[in-house]
Amino acid sequence: MQFEESSDSHRCSDTGALRDVYRNRPVLVTGANGFLGVNAVHALEALGARVTVLVRQERVRAQGFSGRVIQGDLRFGETVRTAVAGQSIVFDFAGVSGAVASNQDPDGFLDRECGPHLQLIKACAEAAPSPVVTFCSSRLVYGRPRYLPVDENHPLCPQSMYAVHKITIEHYLNVFATTHGLRFVVLRVSNPYGPYQPRDPRNYGVINRFLRDAADGRPIRIFGEGRQKRDYIHVADVVTAFLAAAMTDACHGQVFNFGGRQAVSIAEAAHTIARLAGGTPVCFEPWPGEYQSVETGDYQSDLRKIDRYIALPPPVPLEDGLRQTLFYYRNSED
């Protein structure tokens, strides 16, 4: 199935244009029970796509999901080939997150990251027709920035095995593009936040952790002074970028940085959450050594490249997004 080439990039993220492209389109979401995956499934179903999810668990976290469920593991080739068959697009949000945890267990993270993605990408490349693969990479591939904002030409200098594996998977995509003509898009996502973060102890996704703590009545804990700046981006904006890039022929074979259009300090974001939550305490604690070793300092994405390819809608304002997400966590048991 071929995409219709759009001569007007400003149509790419228009809701009507997205609905026209995704209505009845067969798409696969991997990592569908994770933070980004759940949000993508909801968005795709709202657009009328024919969604298949590949999950390890029996339960699909996306409420009211009516699509096809394949329970299995990306490490098993036959399962992956079954899931990929007949798909037009694969939204790949699978993976094990956590920079610190990846350095503590490099062998385990290698087994759970690179092998499964190689199976998925190989199956996509060998499928007939071959789907477009959209892969969620990370800003952490750049390590500590040498300049700001960070563009796609910034040197790659990972500080964690997590980031090393992201780079490796990007290279898998390039190899199969060369050898098999695989179409792909990579988004190196910065600091997403929003609803549907799984309710379990997390050592990453700092703003969602702050929001969860505030919603549950716990103090917000910050390592260090919280002066480092981040370009927080609402998950709805992230999903829109993936949807628009996947449907735009010019984006295929490209790597894009994607984050917020403004950077604020971690401390400022925490105090905003505390205020919205009604006065949650904010506590500052010394850096644990293993966390300080992967701390990258200030970060802001350079969005000029993605803006040349697709015209995205205005982002969700940070305070509005924090307020909405706080409301979600206060009213959800998930």
CATH number of the domain at 137, please.
Answer: 3.40.50.720
> For residue range 298-329, what is the model confidence (pLDDT) as tens digits?
999 999 999 999 999 999 999 999 999 999 99
pLDDT-wise least confident of 23-32, 82-91, 104-113, 203-212: 203-212
Q: Is residue 226 part of a domain?
A: no
Task: Please give the model's pTM, rounded to 2 decimal places.
Answer: 0.93
Residue 32 domain-assigned (yes or no) = yes
Asked, for residue 290, whether it belongs to a domain, the answer is: no
H helical segments located in the chain: 15-22, 35-46, 77-84, 99-104, 106-126, 161-180, 206-215, 235-246, 266-276, 289-292, 304-309, 318-330
251 in any annotated domain: yes
Give the per-residue pLDDT at 205.
85
pLDDT digits (tens, 9 = 90+) for 106-125: 998 899 899 999 999 999 99
- Residue 9: pLDDT band with limits 50, 70, 90: very low
In a domain, 4, yes or no: no
Mean pLDDT computed over 173-198: 96
Higher pLDDT, 26 or 294: 26
Q: Is residue 3 part of a domain?
A: no
Domain carrying residue 149: 9-193+234-260+300-313
Domain-located, residue 209: no
Does residue 331 form part of some domain? no
- pLDDT for position 269: 98
Q: Is residue 190 a contact partner of residue 36, using CB atoms and an 8 Å limit?
A: no
Flag whether pLDDT at 6 surpasses 70.
no
> How many Cβ atoms from other residues are within 10 Å of residue 200's Cβ?
6
**Number of domains within the chain:** 1
What percent of the chain shows pLDDT beyond 90? 83
Residue 11: pLDDT band by 50, 70, 90 thresholds? very low
